Amino acid sequence: MKTRFTITLLFLMLVNCLYAGLSISDLTCEYKTNPHGMDETHPRLGWILNATEMNTMQTAYQVQVSLDTKTFKTNPVWDSGKTDSDQSFQVVYNGADLQSATRYYWRVKVWDNHNNESEWSEPAYWEMGLLSPKDWKATWIRPDLEENLTELNPAPMLRKEFQLEAKVKSARAYITSLGLYEFQLNGKRVGEQVLTPGWTTFLHRIQYQTYDVTDLLKTGDNAVGVTLGDGWYRGTLAWGDKSLPRDRTLKLLLQIEITFTNGKTETIVTDNTWKSNTGPILMSDLFMGETYDARLEHVNWTKSGFDDSEWHRVIVSADPGIEIAAPDGPPVLKIQELKPVAKSVTPEGDIVFDMGQNMVGWLRFKVKGPKGTTIEIRHAEVLDKDGNFYTENLRRAKQTITYTLKGDGVQVFEPHFTWQGFQYFTVKGWPGEPTLDDFTGVVVHSNITPTMEFSCSNPMLNQLQHNIQWGQKGNFVDVPTDCPQRDERMGWTGDAQVFASTACFNADVAGFYTKWLKDMIYDQKESGAIPDVVPNIRWSLDPVQRCGASGWSDAVVVIPWTVYQYYNDTRILSVMYDSMVKWIKFMQTNAGDDYIWSESNQLGDWLSFNSQSSSYPGAYTDKEFIATAYFAYSTGLVAKIADILGKDEDAKAFTDLREKIKSAFIQEFMTPDGRLSPNTQTAYSLALSFDLIPESLKAKTASRLAANVNEFGHITTGFLGTPLISLCLSNNGYLDEAYMLLNRKTYPSWLYPITRGATTIWERWDGIKPDGTFQTPTMNSYNHYAYGAIGNWMYRTITGINNDPAQPGFKHIFFAPQPGGDLTWAKAEYKSLYGPIRSSWEISDGTFTLTLDIPVNTFATIQLPNAEIVNIKVNDKSLIETAALSNIRQQGNNVLLQSGSGHYTFEYNLKE
């Protein structure tokens, strides 16, 4: 007996040793956790490794996929076997063909370089949607209602009752609409998503959602109800009658697949047996707001037994002939809630509430009053210098909620098919005195998982980081919009392109961009030009459409490349490759034989510094300079992408083309001593960033940029120059100038808006002028993320977290913190697909302390600033005695070394 106990104990100790310190977490499929309704037939899997030993790398993995959690070994759909690889995400499923409406479970185990073998992970799953048009048994229906197509109409309501004869085992609802929808079963809202099915290029494709509705169905009588809204499909869009045709009727497509416990199945579909009507939503528009009359509510209309005898029929519509696709990106959700922080009465007599934050979403309010009382709520971003409510910058967007009470106790309301961008709101017609407690701000945006935390010893920079992140949240509402408040809110390609790197640092946006970029493919013109906005709404009716602006259309190349850099996503490169090539060919055609693109249809360095000085009209950078620079830049990127994709002939051809463009650029725009014409900060920043300067002249050119910055004492760049200038300065030895620009508090600067109370990034450097007046109301947003691209520099330079373009996805991390600007400490955490990357440093009494966390399955190169090898301690030991580090070398005033995964604290006295 004792012998058996000893053997058992030894076995358990052996097992414990085998699995010691190596585990798996955070399983994802196509960047999502346990996704429903996918149509990717070769999904990519990922996981995060956790280990207690330093310098741990994955050496192999094994993935098993099965139809349930009990048959991984006995009947797998796919077993990769032990696969020698350090790949822990973007692992492509390579098993049997996946079937519609089927759930697949999967698990993974790994081996590491210390001869450890992990346990199997906890199972995860993905569930397929409807993979073929033949899987759709439902038909499109539309309400049989009269509408005045010259104005906004009441929201249609569609319903159907049905009976189920057995107990439900499982049920899935697949639903989409032309227009927006809200979906209920048996009186309960289905799902948490809002603004569904989302915004796509409706002429070509539309998304559908999949919901698990098992718990919402019951044996016996059931009812389904769907409300439709105009949304992006036919509502007020863009300006100047450039919106989509208004003669479109809203339509619904719904299919509920039910499996009973007795093994039988049933399908509930949209067909001619449904009924339709209108109700309390008299108007709900993205720009204008919503008008709601609670007296017109149909009580219990989504429950069985409701009397719909007076309702209208529906009309079965022809198939619109567009692709119906599962979403690639995250859903739009109600993410968080805010309470008003103050209430006041303006000099003009308005009751105004302050949310304390420029937010995007809507208000939920509770109210009690007499039947027929009508409340009006208007929204605004700012108050004027006298403290009055200011809405002129909204242009024709009214952002107004009108609610009429039904007089039945306390009523709670929030709008349905609209959203607002606001910090302030004013209330009229409220019965009694409105209080702070009556209102709640509901923050709405795409469910992009936050991945960056940054803070430092300068509170204003912390506020800047806050503003950058809130600007991104407010403008990532299914597409990357330019602003969330005025009559625009479109997917401007230039804004998205310049902010992409900061966006990828701030949040997991791989799926978000993938969804949007697919619309770019559809919207690309036969010429190869990319519209300035995607989905292409603004010019959809113009016979001659304005497309192909450099810096804007280049999003077709730059954003996929950026996604690849952060997520090692080669699939997005492959998906977008043909569109990239068409764009390069478009530029080549327009540039002609001299390779100088002088096309006048350009937007240029949008909103660059505009001086009032008679001797200096402003920092204008010639459009042909910018266009030719981007021509070279995108061509060079496509050459690299072709090489990654194994397209060797293309890679050579585009490399050769880029060299010809560069030569033409130098001849046209550069003097022999490195001076550029135009002599602007943007010109130097573009040329240096895009490697258009001969090696022998880079130092001179960089010094000219620094001289320009010092001469002005401030930034003069617009949308295209701003993301590049700070990196150009710090990467070329002008760190002090970069910090000077960052820390400047007067106009123009990043911190100036903060001195005026900004809680998001402004569209203009002087949205509110130093005298308190406003910039032109025709273009003056207070939530515009483009200038927030400085975040990329802050993360890379202040805390030093950098990726290696040659080993994307942060497989190789380059830590190079560069303290400056009187900062005494800074820290950041970036949640990469390998796990958290952390960097924090502190300067105290001349001692520099740097703490780093390097995720398992990655390695790092570390640059320690103003250091000497002999003076450095690592984890309380001498650097030269630390076996975990390698390739230690002195490089000027810095020390460079390499490390594997683990936690490291470096400490040394800074060199004088």
Kindly list the catalytic residues: 488, 763
Residues 717/682, Cβ–Cβ less than 8 Å = yes
Amino acid at the residue 29: C
Extract the tokens encoding 204. Answer: 């070509």
CA separation for the pair 97, 108 (Å, rounded): 20
At 253 the three-state DSSP class reads strand
At 835 the three-state DSSP class reads strand
Q: Is the preceding omega at residue 197 within 30 degrees of 0, hence cis?
A: yes
Determine the distance from the C-alpha atom of residue 404 to the mean position of all C-alpha atoms in its chain, rounded to a whole number.
36
Contacts of 322 (CB under 8 A, 6+ apart): 202, 203, 204, 205, 206
CA separation for the pair 436, 821 (Å, rounded): 40
Pairing of strands 479-480, 847-854: unpaired
Residue 632, φ and ψ in degrees, nearest 5: -65, -45
State the DSSP code for 308.
-
CA separation for the pair 415, 403 (Å, rounded): 9
> 3-state SS string over 575-593?
HHHHHHHHHHHHHHHHHHH
Residue (of 328, 228, 340) closest to 278 by Cα position: 228
Q: 168: alpha, beta or left, given left = phi > 0 and alpha = psi -120 to 50?
A: beta
Residues 82/111, Cβ–Cβ less than 8 Å = yes
Question: Is the four-CA dihedral 816, 821, 824, 828 of positive or negative sign?
Answer: negative
CA separation for the pair 52, 30 (Å, rounded): 28
List C-alpha distances in Å: 574 to 174, 560, 796, 910: 29, 9, 28, 47
CA separation for the pair 878, 880 (Å, rounded): 6
Question: Radius of gyration over alpha carbons of the chain, in Å?
Answer: 29
Tell me the residue length of the chain.
Answer: 912
Strand partners, 891: 894
CA separation for the pair 843, 909 (Å, rounded): 9
Contacts of 707 (CB under 8 A, 6+ apart): none
The DSSP secondary structure of 460-518, one letter per residue, reads HHHHHHHHHHHHHHHHEESEE-S-SSSS----BHHHHHHHHHHHHHHB--HHHHHHHHH
Q: Residue 776: CA atoms inside 13 Å, Cβ hemisphere, count?
A: 4
State the DSSP code for 143.
E
> 3-state SS string over 186-251?
CCEECCCCCCECCCCCCCCEEECEEEECHHHCCCEEEEEEEEEECHHHHCCCCCCCCCCCCCCCCE
Long-range contacts, stretch 236-241, CB < 8 angstroms, 24+ apart: 236/152, 236/285, 236/286, 236/287, 236/288, 236/396, 236/397, 236/487, 237/286, 237/287, 237/490, 237/537, 238/487, 238/488, 238/490, 238/537, 238/538, 239/395, 239/396, 239/487, 239/488, 241/541
Residues 38/326, Cβ–Cβ less than 8 Å = yes
Amino acid at the residue 358: N
